[in-house]
């Protein structure tokens, strides 16, 4: 009869039952029943039925209890659509009353019967009657005396006797669980886990396998893998004479498998253990998932009460998916789909141990994942000094600038007061794989006093230890335990499969040989963006660069550039060699020149000394180069047009390095990219000069080489005018950091100050510097791509802003027909997996 009732359904192999009507637990129990596994009789209540119960409309209790023996005890468990959304706790032993107590005392012994009744009275009092949990504190006696006291205490508090009718008890339990689910706290909690606001709850009413009594009785949980590593390892506990999940907390719990550390279920009840192992293995193959089973043993017989996906770390998730595919249980495509690409960050960087206690001082933008502890330092020089002493330090700055790069290299993590996802510290941090929190403006940064003050008033000084959790964007006090990165063989296998399935190339943004080596180790298809400005911040170069900036006459400028040329040539040769013939896209100098000049008086004095100029000259020149709005000023191609010697030098260095690296290695075809273009004429001018440098190098050396010249599209105008720019460019690479900044008219360095308020209030669905704004910026990308390709069908399209590493943006770029995305080296694995998932999803429709 119940099979016909969509709201009260006896779980049988053929009963209509779906996760989206009865919840994941009910569906899973049906699967176990279909496998003929020993599941106690269970009835599932649908979401609709539970919703009505919450409104006070109980189902037909007689029908609900019909499948159970008249005197059977039952339990109720929650069954939300996705088990991760949680639900109210299970209530066990419903049906216990004075009469069943007497019967069970005869059958199981008085103590067991008293324990069962007592447990139910306590759960009912707290969860159903909502009485004070402390009311049972004074009961010290066990057994029958304790039970009598508990029943008495209940009657006193509730002002009525403990209900004796099983139907009444069950109705009240169902109502309290249904209402708990609809409460505000529960709703917010599950929404935080990704549940929709109106997510439904199902409930399952199950015959109690008691776990107490004569013979071997007890309960436990079992799974076949280690939840941390995913390696094969029977894991779990069993506790004799227990119920529910007591085994996980009970001190007398047994190991499951024979174990040197103590007694095991395998020794105590070998047959039950063998059955359990076989049942769990069958669940693994037939449910196509690594499962954790909750079980009860009753007088030696095993009952399976429940099955859930094994909870797991990201590292275990990768190994589990790979092993399931290797064992032929799931196809490789499915293994790829089972891993959240972002979760790979856990394998790529050290993390705060999820079980460690977190003393959160403040929150900011989670700009670069990973965690590290170290002593606070407030300047790049101090960071370098710390590193020289072998001490781990955290570089704390208001914001970082190119001058801080060497300090960043020396630090184990970076914390800044200002900035957002694409500010300097964030971009460099991700490139270096350095944990980084930016925009932590709720802390007080007093750099002169060398103190950092948390919102709660705690003050930290230079040398104090803190922890930066760049994965969660948190600053923590002290040194919570960390867990190491783990790029094991399973991770490597998953990456190989991702390469097999993905149909868009993934390149890396890499500025240094170390970045390039990381990119290679993750199997990047090339370098999509080499920001050359970082090469000029080495001490020996910075001074020559400054000389060049201060040169009055073209010949003086050329002399300084002649000294930079061999250094640049060596940089590029090394990059080409590391990349072994894979494409390397080099961006000509982009930032405004004043970024290379010192900002304070002491720096000006040092520079005056080095250049042998009066201090006032230096100060005036620095002032003259200041701009009101440097990000919209003399930078990018505007420098190339007005101070063309710099690009000439860079082009020459690229071509000479090409010849050198091709001589003893794979042939190199360099790509040269012009930044911040907004007009066709800019491209024509730079192209003419680069072409003539190429011709000059060819004439001087006689060595043949080819190259590709392309345009970085990062102004809205360049997107709109892509049709006239493309004929002069072999490729267009969208710089979505600047493009987002200019599309929104929103400073990428200052957005952090109000971005969280904007996102919280729903003004922006996400931080557009983090997740590509497909509506606005995306439309510009689409326009640029379409107009560019229409003018030049073989045009190579790519994206090299930070969005290149975000899974959603990769989907967008793939659909728009882009050839590759480029992201920071440590995001290459994330990007590869995301790209493979998009391809697989397209394939399976």
Is residue 800 at the binding interface for ligand PEP, with CB under 6 A as the rule?
Answer: yes
* DSSP label of 603: H
Closest listed residue to residue 362, CA positions, set 438, 423, 413, 464: 438
Is residue 169 at the binding interface for ligand PEP, with CB under 6 A as the rule?
Answer: no
Min separation Cβ 448 and ligand PEP, Å? 30
**Which residues 667-726 are close enough to bind ligand PEP by CB under 6 A?**
714
Residue burial 44-56, b: 16+ Cβ < 10 Å; e: rest: bbbbebbbbbbee
**Which residues 703-732 are close enough to bind Mg ion by CB under 5 A?**
714
Min separation Cβ 365 and Mg ion, Å? 19
Question: Total number of residues binding ligand PEP (CB under 6 A)?
Answer: 11
Cα–Cα distance between 598 and 618 in angstroms, integer?
10
Residue 200 interacts, among ligand PEP, Mg ion, none and using kind-specific CB cut-offs from 5 to 8 Å, with: none
Residue 800 annotated as catalytic: yes
Nearer to Mg ion, 74 or 676 (CB): 676
Is residue 400 at the binding interface for ligand PEP, with CB under 6 A as the rule?
Answer: no
Q: Please report how the helices 166-182 and 184-192 are oriented relative to each other, as an axis angle in degrees rounded to 10.
A: 60
Nearer to ligand PEP, 47 or 596 (CB): 596
* Near ligand PEP by CB under 6 A: residue from 573, 736, 756, 824: 736
Residue 171 interacts, among Mg ion, ligand PEP, none and using kind-specific CB cut-offs from 5 to 8 Å, with: none
* Near ligand PEP by CB under 6 A: residue from 88, 211, 407, 801: 801
| Token pair of 149 as six digits | 């006291």
From 3-11, 118-126, 730-738, 837-845, span contacting ligand PEP (CB under 6 A): 730-738
Contacts of 181 (CB under 8 A, 6+ apart): 50, 54, 78, 80, 87, 88, 201
Nearer to Mg ion, 220 or 735 (CB): 735
Is residue 518 at the binding interface for ligand PEP, with CB under 6 A as the rule?
Answer: no
* Near ligand PEP by CB under 6 A: residue from 571, 738, 749, 773: 738
**Pair 72, 35: CB distance under 8 Å:** no
Question: Total number of residues binding Mg ion (CB under 5 A)?
Answer: 3
Extended strands (E) in 417-463: 436-438, 444-446, 451-453, 459-461
Of the candidates 424, 594, 728, 770, the residue annotated as catalytic is 424
Min separation Cβ 529 and ligand PEP, Å? 6
Q: Please report how the helices 644-663 and 680-701 are oriented relative to each other, as an axis angle in degrees rounded to 10.
A: 50
Residue 801 interacts, among Mg ion, ligand PEP, none and using kind-specific CB cut-offs from 5 to 8 Å, with: ligand PEP
| Token pair of 789 as six digits | 């390709």
From 16-24, 99-107, 239-247, 736-744, span contacting ligand PEP (CB under 6 A): 736-744
* DSSP label of 292: E
* Near Mg ion by CB under 5 A: residue from 670, 735, 752, 804: 735
Is residue 367 at the binding interface for ligand PEP, with CB under 6 A as the rule?
Answer: no
Nearer to Mg ion, 290 or 738 (CB): 738
* Residue positions forming the annotated binding site for substrate: 531, 587, 714, 735-738
Min separation Cβ 416 and ligand PEP, Å? 16
* Residue positions forming the annotated binding site: 531, 587, 714, 735-738
Min separation Cβ 800 and ligand PEP, Å? 5
Cα–Cα distance between 751 and 758 in angstroms, integer?
10
Cα–Cα distance between 15 and 21 in angstroms, integer?
12
Radius of gyration of the chain (CA): 33
Of the candidates 585, 800, 813, 823, the residue annotated as catalytic is 800
Nearer to Mg ion, 714 or 802 (CB): 714
Neighbours of 263 (CB within 10 A): 14
Residue 533 interacts, among Mg ion, ligand PEP, none and using kind-specific CB cut-offs from 5 to 8 Å, with: none
Residue burial 559-577, b: 16+ Cβ < 10 Å; e: rest: ebbebbbebbbebbbbbbb
Min separation Cβ 671 and ligand PEP, Å? 14
Residue 292 interacts, among ligand PEP, Mg ion, none and using kind-specific CB cut-offs from 5 to 8 Å, with: none
Nearer to ligand PEP, 294 or 590 (CB): 590
Is residue 737 at the binding interface for ligand PEP, with CB under 6 A as the rule?
Answer: yes
Contact mark string toward ligand PEP, 521..560, x via CB under 6 A: --------x-x-----------------------------
Q: 371-377 and 465-469 as β-strands: parallel, antiparallel, unpaired?
A: antiparallel
Contacts of 820 (CB under 8 A, 6+ apart): 504, 505, 506, 507, 525, 526, 528, 796, 798
* Residue positions forming the annotated binding site for Mg(2+): 714, 738
Q: In what order do the strands lie in the sheet with 301-309?
A: 232-240, 218-225, 291-298, 301-309
CA angle 620, 626, 628 (to 5 degrees): 140
**Pair 683, 711: CB distance under 8 Å:** yes
Contact mark string toward ligand PEP, 445..474, x via CB under 6 A: ------------------------------
Nearer to ligand PEP, 800 or 836 (CB): 800
Contact mark string toward ligand PEP, 420..439, x via CB under 6 A: -------x------------
Min separation Cβ 368 and ligand PEP, Å? 14
Is residue 735 at the binding interface for ligand PEP, with CB under 6 A as the rule?
Answer: yes
CA dist list (Å): 111 to 147, 209, 245, 317, 444: 10, 17, 20, 43, 61
Cα–Cα distance between 676 and 684 in angstroms, integer?
14
Residue 813 annotated as catalytic: no
Extended strands (E) in 439-521: 444-446, 451-453, 459-461, 465-469, 474-477, 482-483, 505-509
CA angle 500, 503, 508 (to 5 degrees): 90
User: What H or E segment, with its residue span, contains residue 762?
Assistant: none
From 274-282, 558-566, 720-728, 734-742, span contacting ligand PEP (CB under 6 A): 734-742
Min separation Cβ 738 and ligand PEP, Å? 3
DSSP three-state, residue 368: strand
DSSP three-state, residue 9: strand
φ, ψ of residue 597 in degrees (nearest 5) = -100, 155
DSSP three-state, residue 263: coil
Nearer to ligand PEP, 363 or 635 (CB): 635
Is residue 505 at the binding interface for ligand PEP, with CB under 6 A as the rule?
Answer: no
Is residue 738 at the binding interface for Mg ion, with CB under 5 A as the rule?
Answer: yes
φ, ψ of residue 141 in degrees (nearest 5) = -80, 145
Nearer to ligand PEP, 39 or 755 (CB): 755
Contact mark string toward ligand PEP, 574..593, x via CB under 6 A: ----------------x---
Cα–Cα distance between 140 and 157 in angstroms, integer?
18
Min separation Cβ 682 and ligand PEP, Å? 16
The binding site for Mg ion (CB under 5 A) comprises: 714, 735, 738
The binding site for ligand PEP (CB under 6 A) comprises: 427, 529, 531, 590, 714, 735-738, 800-801
Catalytically annotated residues = 424, 800
């Amino acid at each position: 009869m119940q099979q016909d009732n969509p709201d009260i359904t006896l779980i049988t192999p053929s009963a209509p039952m779906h996760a989206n009507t009865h919840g994941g637990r009910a569906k899973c129990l049906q699967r176990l029943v279909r496998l003929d596994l020993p599941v106690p009789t269970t009835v599932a209540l649908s979401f609709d039925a539970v919703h009505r119960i919450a409104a006070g409309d109980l189902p037909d209790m007689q029908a609900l209890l019909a499948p159970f023996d008249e005197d059977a005890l039952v339990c109720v468990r929650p069954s939300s659509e996705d088990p991760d959304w949680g639900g109210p706790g299970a209530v066990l032993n419903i049906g216990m009353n004075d009469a069943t107590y007497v019967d069970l005392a005869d059958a199981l012994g008085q103590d067991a019967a008293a324990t069962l009744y007592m447990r139910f009275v306590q759960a009912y009092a707290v969860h159903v009657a909502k009485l004070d949990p402390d009311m049972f504190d004074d009961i010290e006696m066990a057994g029958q005396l304790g039970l009598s006291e508990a029943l008495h205490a209940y009657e006193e508090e509730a002002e009525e006797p403990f209900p004796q009718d099983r139907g009444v008890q069950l109705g009240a339990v169902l109502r309290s669980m249904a209402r708990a689910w609809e409460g505000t706290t529960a709703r917010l909690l599950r929404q935080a886990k990704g549940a929709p606001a109106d997510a439904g709850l199902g409930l399952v009413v199950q015959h109690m396998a008691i776990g107490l009594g004569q013979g071997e009785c007890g309960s436990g949980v079992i799974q076949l893998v280690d939840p941390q590593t995913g390696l094969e390892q029977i894991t779990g506990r069993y506790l004799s004479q227990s119920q529910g999940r007591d085994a996980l907390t009970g001190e007398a719990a047994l190991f499951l498998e024979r174990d040197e550390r103590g007694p095991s279920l395998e020794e105590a009840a070998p047959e039950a253990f063998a059955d359990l192992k076989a049942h769990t293995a069958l669940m693994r193959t037939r449910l196509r998932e690594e499962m954790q089973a909750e079980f009860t043993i009753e007088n030696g017989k095993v009952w399976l009460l429940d099955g859930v996906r094994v909870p797991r770390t990201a590292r275990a998730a990768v190994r589990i998916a790979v092993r399931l595919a290797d064992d032929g249980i799931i196809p490789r495509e499915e293994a790829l789909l089972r891993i959240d690409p972002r979760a790979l960050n856990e394998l790529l960087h050290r993390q705060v141990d999820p079980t460690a206690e977190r003393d959160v001082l403040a929150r900011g933008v989670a700009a670069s994942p990973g965690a590290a502890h170290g002593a606070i330092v407030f300047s790049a020089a101090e960071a370098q000094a710390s590193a020289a002493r072998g001490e781990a330090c955290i570089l704390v700055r208001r914001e970082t600038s190119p001058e801080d790069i060497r300090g960043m290299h020396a630090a184990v993590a970076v914390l800044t007061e200002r900035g957002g996802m694409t500010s300097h510290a964030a971009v460099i941090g991700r490139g270096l794989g350095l944990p980084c929190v930016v925009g932590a403006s709720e802390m007080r940064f007093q750099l002169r006093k060398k103190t950092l003050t948390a919102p709660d008033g705690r003050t930290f000084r230079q040398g104090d230890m803190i922890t930066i959790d760049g994965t969660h964007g948190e600053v923590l006090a002290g040194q919570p335990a960390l867990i190491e990165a783990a790029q094991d063989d399973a991770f490597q296998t998953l990456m190989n499969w991702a390469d097999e399935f993905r149909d868009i190339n993934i390149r890396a943004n890499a500025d240094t040989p170390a970045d390039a080596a990381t990119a290679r180790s993750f199997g990047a298809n090339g370098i999509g963006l080499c920001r050359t400005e970082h090469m000029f911040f080495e001490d020996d170069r910075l001074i020559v660069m400054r000389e060049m900036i201060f040169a009055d006459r073209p010949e003086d400028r050329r002399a300084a550039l002649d000294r930079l040329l061999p250094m640049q040539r060596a940089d590029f040769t090394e990059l080409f060699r590391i990349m072994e013939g894979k494409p390397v896209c080099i961006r000509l100098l982009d930032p405004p020149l004043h970024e290379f000049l010192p900002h304070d008086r002491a720096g000006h004095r040092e520079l005056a000394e080095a250049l042998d100029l009066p201090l006032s000259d230096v100060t005036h020149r620095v002032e003259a180069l200041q701009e009101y709005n440097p990000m919209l000023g003399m930078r990018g191609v505007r420098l190339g047009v007005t101070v063309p010697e710099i690009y000439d030098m860079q082009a020459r260095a690229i071509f000479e390095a090409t010849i050198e690296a091709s001589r003893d290695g794979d042939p190199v075809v360099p790509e040269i990219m012009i930044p911040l273009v907004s007009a066709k004429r800019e491209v024509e001018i730079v192209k003419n000069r680069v072409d003539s440098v190429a011709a000059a190098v060819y004439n001087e050396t006689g060595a043949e080489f080819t190259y590709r010249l392309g345009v970085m599209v990062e102004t809205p105008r360049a997107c709109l005018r892509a049709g006239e720019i493309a004929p002069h460019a072999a490729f267009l690479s969208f710089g979505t950091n600047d493009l987002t900044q200019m599309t929104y008219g929103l400073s990428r360095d200052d957005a952090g100050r109000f971005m969280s308020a904007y996102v919280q209030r729903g003004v922006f669905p996400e931080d557009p510097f983090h997740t590509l704004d497909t509506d606005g910026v995306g439309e510009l990308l689409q326009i640029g791509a379409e107009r560019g390709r229409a003018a030049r069908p073989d045009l190579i399209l790519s994206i090299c802003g930070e969005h290149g590493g975000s899974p959603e943006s990769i989907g967008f770029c793939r659909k728009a027909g882009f050839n590759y995305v480029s992201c920071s080296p440590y995001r290459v694995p994330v990007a590869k997996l995301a790209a493979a998932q998009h391809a697989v999803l397209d394939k399976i429709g």
